[in-house]
Amino acid sequence: MFGGVLLALFILNDFSFFSTLEATYSLFVGLLSEGWILKTIAFAILVGSVMELLQKSGAIDGFVSYMSHQTSLVKSGRSALVLSYIIGVVIFIESSITSLIAGAVGRPLCDRYGVSHAKLAFVCDSTSAPISSLLVLNGWGALLLGLISTQISQGVVQGESIDILLNAVAHNFYAMSALVVTFIAIWFDINIGAMKRAKPSQNISNIATFSAISPLYMLLPIIVMIASVFFFLYLSGGGNILKGSGSSAIFYTMLSTLFFIYLLYIPKKIISNRVYATTAFRGAKKLFPIALILFFAFAIGKVTNELKTGEYLATLLSENISVVLLGGLIFLLSAIISFATGTSWGTFSIMIPIAAPLAMSMDADIALAIGAVISGGVFGDHCSPISDTTIISSLASECEVVEHVQTQLPYALISGVIAFGLFLLFGWVE
């Protein structure tokens, strides 16, 4: 990733070695001066502290023991993955938090029943962004609403922004197909491609046995985590959740969760002050490499934007295309841009101002065109090894990023082919 950043800067600086070094320094200093990037990186590190505390305290063992011995909800690898899938669908407020909680709950259960971390990472990733882009009462909806409103204010598109958004979400075929394909893969235990070679974790310490610790010691911090996301989105949005800052919300959520864990565990003598401090530090240290990967992912996104990769690819759509093919081509182009830049949100910002006027000029369905942008953005982001959701899903499941990308790709491609076919079909019908 660092090599990719250097190569891009080398091109941007007319192949000057010294100018490239100066630009590299300026880029990294500039990134570290942006609050949302620092908060997102800090979030990734603090996730390690929270997960390590839940593990060290025995809270995860208590939850797994309860689910395995005192209820009939989880009795197999399939039911462990189904539980993670349900969590991924229910918690739609923020994709990073969705992956984190689904991974935290599912990982020890998967270890117990011999399910690979790669399969769990696939479930976490395949529910987080897709469900967040379908149930848009979150930051995703705020961004899309803002981009559509801009097109309306400029006279490019006519109508109500919320109506256009809802219609566009109804054409978000990739997210729908990804959720269906993922559930089928879980239910029928379908392993294709690299997933056939994925092995369960060999870390026996992760496999919980019977524990007398109440499952509430794990559930209560997670409930606080979910509630905190809503609260901080509301607070940072000035009373409007849709206008809240996602990076601020997840950062302050992790701080609040750490503080709550301290208040919950220390008085009950689950762990001591010393153990709390050393465990939190050890967890943060474990995930520092993941935070570094995230940082370089942001750097690559920045330089590909300066190279105008997205704008160049988008110009390819302006040449002699059929109305029938429009939705499918927008979907493919959005996927390429999202894969190359590692960001679905950046893809939305590039492609919606292009797709909306293009659809208007061709008298095509605006909602279908915007839905294709959303679907393509999620599809490319889903496949990209430099995507933050890909990295966080790997983090939450304790799976190597490269292994996660390789094992998830066949399922993503199947969902992508289905979505592409639907865009062609609807383009022909509409």
For residue 413, what pLDDT band results from cuts at 50, 70 and 90? very high
pLDDT tens figures, 166-184: 899 999 999 999 999 999 9
Contact 382, 360 (CB under 8 A): no
How many CA atoms, within 13 angstroms, populate the side-chain half-sphere of residue 111?
21
Which residue would you say has higher pLDDT here, 424 or 144?
424
Kindly state the average pLDDT of the residues 403-407: 94
CA nearest 337: which of 327, 347, 348?
347
- Kindly indicate the confidence band of residue 412, based on its pLDDT and cuts at 50, 70 and 90: very high
| In the predicted structure, residue 418 carries a pLDDT above the cut 90 | yes
Q: What is the pLDDT of residue 335?
A: 94
Residue 22 covered by a domain: no
SS3 217: helix
Higher local confidence (pLDDT), 142 or 55: 55
Given a cut of 70, whether residue 27 has pLDDT beyond it is: yes
> 296 falls in which pLDDT band (50, 70, 90)?
confident
Looking at the domain assignment, is residue 378 inside a domain? yes
d(CA 21, CA 25): 6
Q: Domain limits at 66?
A: 32-199+206-429
pLDDT for 147 equals 76
Number of H helices, E strands in the chain: 20, 0
Q: Count other C-beta atoms under 10 Å from residue 423's C-beta.
A: 28
So what's the pLDDT on residue 118?
94
Classify residue 216: in a domain, yes or no: yes
- Whether residue 318 is contained in a domain is answered as yes
Greater confidence (274 vs 396) lies with 274
Res. 323 pLDDT band, cuts 50 70 90: confident
Residue 132 domain-assigned? yes
Q: Is 200 helix (H, G, I), strand (E, B) or coil?
A: strand
Q: What is the structure's pLDDT at 316?
A: 64
The closest of 125, 120, 126, 116 to 198, measured between CA atoms, is 116
Nearest in space to 359 (alpha carbons), one of 277, 309, 427: 427
Q: Could you report the per-residue pLDDT of 110-156, keeping only the tens digit for each?
A: 888 889 999 999 999 999 889 989 987 666 776 787 778 777 766 77
Mean pLDDT of 340-344: 82
Predicted confidence band of residue 109 (pLDDT cuts 50, 70, 90): confident
Residue 251 — pLDDT band, cuts 50, 70, 90? confident
Residue whose C-alpha is closest to residue 348's, from 314, 326, 382, 377:
377
pLDDT tens profile 195-218: 999 988 766 545 445 556 788 888
The stretch 51-63 carries a mean pLDDT of 79
Q: Name the residue with higher pLDDT: 64 or 234.
A: 234
Query: pLDDT band at residue 266, thresholds of 50, 70 and 90?
Result: very high
Of 428, 430, 429, 328, the residue nearest 379 (C-alpha): 328
Burial class of 400 by CB neighbour count within 10 A (0 to 12, 13 to 18, 19+):
middle
Instruction: For residue 308, give every residue at least 6 positions away whose Cβ sits within 8 Å of its Cβ, in sequence order, or none.
Output: none
Burial pattern 324-343, b for ≥16 Cβ within 10 A else e, equals bebbbbbbbbbbbbbbbbbb
- Window from 194-198, 392-396, 399-403 with minimum mean pLDDT: 392-396
What's the confidence (pLDDT) of residue 22? 93
Q: What's the mean pLDDT when you consider all of the chain?
A: 84
Q: Residue 360 pLDDT more than 60? A: yes
Helix or strand holding residue 20 (H, E): helix 17-32
Q: pLDDT value at position 277?
A: 94
Per the structure, the count of domains in the chain is: 1
Residue 263 lies in a domain: yes
Q: What is the pLDDT of residue 215?
A: 80
Residue 341 has pLDDT above 90, yes or no: no
pLDDT of residue 95: 74
* Global confidence as pTM: 0.74
pLDDT at res. 317: 61
- The band of 315, judged by pLDDT with boundaries at 50, 70 and 90, is low
* Residue 377 included in any domain: yes
pLDDT of amino acid 301: 67
* Three-state SS at 116: strand
Determine the Cα–Cα distance for residues 254 and 252; give it in Å rounded to an integer.
5
Residue 1 lies in a domain: no
Which amino acid type is present at position 173? F
Residue 68 reports pLDDT greater than 70? no
Distance CA 26, CA 23 (A): 5
Place 356 in a pLDDT band, splitting at 50, 70 and 90: confident
Per-residue model confidence (pLDDT) at position 174: 97
* Residue 147 to residues 143, 165, 361, Cα–Cα distance (Å): 6, 10, 18
As a whole-number percent, the residues of the chain with pLDDT over 70 amount to: 89
Q: Look at residue 44 in the predicted model and tell me its pLDDT.
A: 73
